[in-house]
């Protein structure tokens, strides 16, 4: 029979404690049950009075009063953890206005806190003057639908984890308005320690109640989380409290495990609205609409000639961006691949011309350093701007050099001649990257046009440049470059992944905080190094980073208000990743093919299912007929889908830089090359960039 002693042992984390060493279950609930009335709300535990425990074979039921609100707590303990169902009701004859109810769970005093998409070890790399979520500045509580896995994980220094999971239950009123609860944590070095909070919808930002995060570095007041309980009214909440263990700093792996166990994350493969062939055709149509040629100038427009971006004052009429949100040479690779596969030489010629234009015009006065952007309006090459100053972005430069390496590989594999100058440019870039490092020995966030490293901390932005060095080593048969890439990669392992004291950050160049894209770059670097060395250490590290990346991916599907465009369209958030702890929207930037390939290489069907689900679900929101989703050209797609109260929940935008075409298309083409389309039974065991589909072998 389950007893209150069993429950107290679990919550306190003392499995061998005897009764006199622990509070009774009702007394412990007195410290855990939160009730606040009036505004602003406060984290109050008035105490449980008139407690009436009624144990059963597999549940313990306790009822009583907490302040003016009656509560019934039903507790179950099984292999998943402690399931708690709380039913709050008003059994008085008067309205209880502006009530907040919920649960407070005590944790370690110096716990590392992870909340998917919003809190990673309290976001230590975010610029001090950047408004982003933090737990250590008085606490942070946010709407459950902001969390890809609706949970908050507390991990102690020895690796033990305590995770509070909300089991979301949408409350939709007669008008169609949907409300969810909220989750968060408050860090404290006092006797109270760090504690997790599961509440009925109110928010907390930097310790200030009724504030939520609504845009880049912006907060706003909100009163959405308050409830009015009329006589006989009730609120129900469901939680799971789970204990586990992970390597210190890797509490995020428990979140992914719970996402799999509780929400079937990766357990089922979702097909999406488009089959792979239709999805490919639409993306290629969008690519064609972005292709631009004016004499020797050839490239792919960062923004189309129509739509929201062009309507903004100051936007160039024609510009190309290489890497980051432009991916001009990545589009060239896609163009070339389609042309070679479909015997369309004009496509191959266009891709070669785009590459020649880049290599012929982008150089600075420093060999190996190239500008990131071209503005055709005034025939000008330039870098990117960060904090009001121009620099050559290491991330954008590295991604573009990787694209060049992939183009060389693709053309060579198809016996298409490659100009020697391309390999020379590749080697010059690798030489520059490995010699123009920051004082830390890592790649800086960027360089001045004369080749000097920018003095900002290195962070993750330079990782694509390290991958470029590794790709140059393979393409140019330069083992010395591979050695340099390995040394740099080890430095990034120590900076980010050895302890996760400083998670991946500053790769999303407009955010200056922890972000998914830094982890993506490192993951792709690890896969590249495994390809070239066969060292299983890189696969082991890639697995850890893959799970960190999966904390950004929605494991559940929040419901939108009735009438919201995403609800009317049947949009499903499962498989969509967020962006950064500053940018809380969904986008299509994710290394889905390499995630699938990691699953193939390690025999992990779960990773393969996740990868295919992520790729397929990104077919949502693609324009299939002119006018759909606000676009005039088929194949276009929004950069942002808003699943939470960041900008406009339930809507998407029409901001469409060219990376939104390039990166999903790149992933789709690689799946196609591997024969990994849905329903295809032959897949390649090891498909690297540019390798032809003939490498496909029967599936084991």
* pLDDT exceeds cutoff 60 at 680: no
Question: pLDDT at position 311, please?
Answer: 74
Question: pLDDT at position 563, please?
Answer: 98
- Per-residue pLDDT averaged across 572-577, rounded? 98
CA distance 242 to 258: 8
Question: pLDDT at position 190, please?
Answer: 62
pLDDT tens for 203-212 read: 999 999 999 9
Question: pLDDT at position 315, please?
Answer: 86
Yes or no: domain 27-263 corresponds to CATH 2.70.98: yes
* % of residues, the chain, pLDDT over 90: 89
- Per-residue pLDDT averaged across 294-311, rounded? 88
* pLDDT exceeds cutoff 90 at 274: yes
Question: pLDDT at position 688, please?
Answer: 35
- Per-residue pLDDT averaged across 121-144, rounded? 95
pLDDT tens for 167-197 read: 999 999 999 999 999 999 998 766 568 999 9
- Per-residue pLDDT averaged across 401-416, rounded? 98
Yes or no: domain 276-698 corresponds to CATH 1.50.10.10: yes
- Per-residue pLDDT averaged across 477-502, rounded? 98
Question: pLDDT at position 695, please?
Answer: 24
Question: pLDDT at position 677, please?
Answer: 59
Higher pLDDT, 387 or 200: 200
- Per-residue pLDDT averaged across 36-62, rounded? 95
Mean pLDDT of the chain: 94
- Per-residue pLDDT averaged across 567-590, rounded? 98
Q: At what angle do helices 536-550 and 592-602 cross, to 10 degrees?
A: 130
Nearby residues of 379 by Cβ (< 8 Å), 6 or more positions away: none
Please spell the DSSP secondary structure of 486-510, one letter per residue: HHHHHHHIIIIITT-SS-SBS-STT
Residue ranges matching CATH 2.70.98 in the chain: 27-263
- Per-residue pLDDT averaged across 677-697, rounded? 33
pTM of the predicted model as reported, rounded to 2 decimal places: 0.96
Residue ranges matching CATH 1.50.10.10 in the chain: 276-698
* Environment class of 185 (CB within 10 Å of its CB; exposed 0-12, middle 13-18, buried 19+): buried
* pLDDT exceeds cutoff 80 at 248: yes
Cα distances (angstroms) measured from residue 368 to each of 352, 363, 420, 458: 20, 7, 15, 19
pLDDT tens for 421-456 read: 999 999 999 999 999 999 999 999 999 999 999 988
Least Cα distance to 50 among 39, 152, 33 occurs for 33
């Amino acid at each position: 029979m389950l007893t209150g002693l069993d429950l107290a042992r679990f919550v306190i984390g003392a499995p061998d404690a005897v009764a006199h060493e622990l509070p009774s279950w009702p007394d412990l609930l007195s410290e855990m049950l939160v009730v606040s009335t009036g505004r602003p709300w406060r984290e109050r535990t008035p105490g449980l009075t008139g407690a009436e425990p009624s144990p059963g074979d597999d549940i313990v039921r306790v009822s009583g009063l907490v302040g003016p609100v009656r509560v019934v707590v039903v507790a179950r303990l099984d292999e998943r953890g402690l399931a708690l169902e709380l039913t709050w009701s008003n059994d008085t004859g008067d309205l209880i206005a502006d009530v907040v109810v919920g649960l407070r769970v005590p944790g370690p005093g110096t716990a590392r806190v992870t909340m998917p998409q919003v809190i990673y070890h309290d976001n230590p790399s975010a610029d001090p003057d950047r408004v982003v979520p933090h737990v250590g500045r008085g606490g942070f509580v946010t709407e459950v639908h902001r969390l890809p896995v609706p949970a908050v994980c507390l991990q102690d220094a020895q690796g033990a984890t305590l995770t509070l999971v909300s089991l979301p239950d949408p409350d939709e009123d007669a008008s169609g308005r949907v409300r969810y609860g909220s989750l968060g944590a408050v860090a404290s070095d006092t006797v109270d320690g760090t504690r997790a909070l599961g509440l009925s919808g109110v928010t907390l930002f930097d310790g200030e109640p009724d504030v939520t995060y609504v845009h880049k570095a912006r907060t706003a007041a909100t009163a959405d989380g308050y409830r009015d309980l009329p006589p006989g009214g009730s609120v129900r909440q469901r939680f799971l409290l789970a204990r586990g263990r992970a390597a210190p700093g890797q509490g995020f792996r428990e979140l992914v495990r719970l996402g799999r166990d509780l929400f079937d994350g990766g357990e089922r493969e979702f097909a999406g609205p488009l089959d792979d062939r239709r999805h490919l055709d639409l993306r290629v149509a969008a690519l064609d609409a972005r292709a631009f040629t004016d004499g020797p100038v050839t490239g792919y427009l960062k923004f189309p000639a129509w739509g929201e971006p062009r309507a903004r004052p100051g936007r160039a009429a024609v510009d190309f961006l290489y890497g980051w949100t432009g991916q001009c040479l990545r589009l060239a690779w896609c163009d070339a691949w389609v042309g070679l596969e479909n015997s369309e030489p004009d496509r191959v010629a266009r891709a070669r011309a785009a590459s020649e234009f880049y290599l012929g015009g982008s150089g600075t006065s420093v060999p190996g350093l190239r500008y990131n952007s071209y503005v055709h309006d005034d025939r000008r090459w330039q870098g990117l701007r960060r904090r009001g100053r121009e620099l050559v972005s290491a991330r954008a430069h590295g991604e573009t050099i990787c694209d060049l390496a992939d183009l060389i590989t693709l053309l060579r594999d198809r016996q298409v001649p490659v100009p020697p100058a391309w390999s020379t440019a590749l080697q010059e870039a690798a030489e520059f990257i490995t010699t123009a490092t920051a004082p830390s020995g890592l790649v800086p966030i960027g360089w001045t046009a004369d080749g000097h490293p920018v003095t900002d901390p290195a962070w993750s932005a330079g990782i694509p440049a390290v991958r470029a060095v590794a790709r140059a080593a393979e393409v140019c048969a330069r083992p010395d470059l591979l050695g340099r890439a390995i040394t740099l990669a080890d430095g990034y392992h120590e900076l980010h992944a050895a302890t996760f004291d400083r998670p991946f950050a500053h790769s999303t160049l407009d955010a200056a905080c922890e972000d998914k894209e830094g982890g993506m770059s490192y993951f792709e670097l690890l896969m590249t190094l495994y390809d070239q060395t066969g060292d299983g250490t890189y696969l082991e590290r890639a697995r850890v980073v893959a799970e960190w990346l999966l904390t950004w991916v929605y494991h559940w599907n929040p419901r939108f208000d009735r009438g919201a465009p995403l609800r009317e369209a049947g949009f499903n958030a499962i498989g969509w990743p967020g962006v950064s702890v500053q940018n809380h929207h969904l986008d299509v930037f994710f290394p889905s093919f390499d995630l699938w390939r990691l699953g193939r290489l390690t025999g992990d069907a779960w990773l393969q299912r996740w990868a295919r689900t992520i790729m397929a679900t990104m077919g949502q929101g693609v324009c299939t007929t002119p006018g759909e989703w606000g676009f005039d050209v088929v194949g276009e797609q929004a950069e942002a889908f808003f699943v939470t109260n960041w900008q406009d929940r339930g809507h998407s935008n029409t901001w469409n830089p060219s990376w939104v075409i390039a990166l999903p298309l790149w992933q789709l083409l690689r799946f196609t090359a591997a024969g990994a389309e849905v329903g295809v039974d032959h897949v390649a065991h090891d498909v690297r960039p540019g390798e032809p589909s003939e490498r496909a072998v029967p599936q084991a």
